[in-house]
Amino acid sequence: MLTLPPLYAILDVDLVAARGRDPAGVCRDWLSAGVALIQLRAKTLPSGAFLELADQCAAMSREAGATFIVNDRADIAAVCGADGVHVGQDDLRPADVRAVIGSKALVGLSTHDEAQAADATGQPVSYLAIGPVFGTETKDTGHAAVGLERVRRAASIAHAAGLPLVAIGGITLARAVSVLEAGADSLAVISDLMPAASDETVVVRASRWLARTTAG
């Protein structure tokens, strides 16, 4: 089974901008802290700007030995040399993503219930994601929070198929251990990785997350 780092950092361009930070700078800070897996999500950026940022993040990730994944855009992932693509239920199907980025790349698929998770195991994916685990304001998924019990059931489905499970949605430092104990192999974190307190830097926040997710 593919081994994913326990922390799956999602660099959401809109959130980063709303907090007055530079996306490339945040990527650099995460990598310097030791983050080993970053997904770039840029729902509102024009394609040209998205590719320019993806090129920067991909290059920094390669230099740091980290895995870099692009959300939704298989074309941009292919051009910038990303390690993979993550898609949702309404995006390109995993088989179509692989037609663009090849058989060796990582492909992740979001699911929201057991039926979708079971269906995903029959597709050419590298890992499954389940969520939102808790309520979240970062992204309007159109889905209610699934809770820890559904994480447990999704983990059983994914692991039986030899696939790791990523949990996403409203996961905070205080909730991290409970989600890992429910069976998630990796925690996708967005807003809680961006410090709100002025006395906490991006590097410090990422370091706290790495310590929490690798403890024990």
Active site residues: 41, 110, 139
Residue where the block lists tokens 């292919």: 78
| Residue whose C-alpha is closest to residue 54's, from 19, 34, 27 | 27
Do 131 and 146 touch, CB atoms closer than 8 A?
yes
Which of 95, 17, 82 shows the shortest CA–CA distance to 51? 82
